[in-house]
Amino acid sequence: MTAEIPTTRRVLVARPRGYCAGVDRAVVTVEKALEQYGAPIYVRKQIVHNTHVVRTLEKRGAIFVDETEDVPEGAIVVFSAHGVSPAVHEQAARRSLKTIDATCPLVTKVHNEAKRFAAKDYDILLIGHEGHEEVEGTAGEAPGHIQLVDGPDGVAKVEVRDPSRVVWLSQTTLSVDETKQTVAALRDRFPDLIDPPSDDICYATQNRQVAVKEIAADSDLVIVVGSNNSSNSKRLVEVAKDAGASAAYLVDDASYIEDSWLTDVTTVGVTSGASVPEELVEGVLAKLATHGFTDVQEVESVPEHMRFALPHELRKDLRTPTVA
């Protein structure tokens, strides 16, 4: 017997979603570099964690590499939105590379906090995921002072020199709720733990988590558009489930949606990670429309107007060496 298709099928689309100011700045940086200097432009790591964005930029002449040593000497290289350590800048200088730093300003803020607390000889507990590029870049600012704490389960392993001189910082793309849990567990061990001067979780990560919470409780299914290596996109799936969605899935684009997910579903929530172009969300909505989900309602939870200026390197000629 064929399952009966619900007569009313709707989509709740979270707002804000998709590109944040830091991602938009990073992607435009590569586009402008290609316009200003011509192809090829080298990019260390993925400029942002989205496979579609990377492929699109590759078609325009960007070459993505894992390390600076993969860039020909004297060439132009863009550092990704996730930031790099001082060691990477030094490697680039040794190879006479012309660098354009597309690090998100909010990540730069965390780097500056790490340097400041290290200069005061604090132990710094960096909450984040091991191996993530942002964590590697931040930890590289003060490797002798920083310990990684990968969630509440990692708290027991932490050892500090002086419990009265300990501060926590965090990766900007974490789950807000999980970070609070980790900080609480750290404070149980170190009552004098110092908070950073401002919340390290970026505004866009927080806003997208707030937005998905708002639609999740009313959704049978939440679809998060984003790549599997995107930390903030993966967190949105977790947040949606915790907020009441019966199911939540991460998809790179509409082709990843399985018809079986939509059986007996009347309401689908849709959102996207901070590195996802809107066209991929539009593709998901078009796919859902073919299954009868034609009532599309946008649910705005937090107005978002942040913009960042492009890197200063784009305002000078990188091909002309500066004469001292």
Residues identified as active-site: 134
Q: Measure the CA–CA gap between 275 and 17, rounded to whole angstroms.
A: 9
The DSSP secondary structure of 158-169, one letter per residue, reads ---S-TTSEEEE
- Taking the C-alpha atoms of residue 231 and residue 109, their distance in angstroms, rounded to an integer, is 19
Alpha helices in 176-317 (DSSP H): 176-189, 203-216, 231-242, 278-289
- Would you give the DSSP letter of residue 308? -
Structure tokens at 10: 């709707």
Give me the sheet containing 98-101, strands edge to edge: 62-65, 41-44, 76-79, 98-101
Number of continuous H segments (helices) and E segments (strands) in the chain? 9, 12
At residue 115, φ and ψ (nearest 5 deg) are -65, -40
- How many Cα atoms sit within 13 Å of 198 on the Cβ side? 10
Measured between alpha carbons, how far is 57 from 259 in angstroms, rounded to an integer?
Answer: 31
187 contacts: CB under 8 Å, gap ≥ 6: 193
**The two structure tokens encoding residue 124:** 């710094």
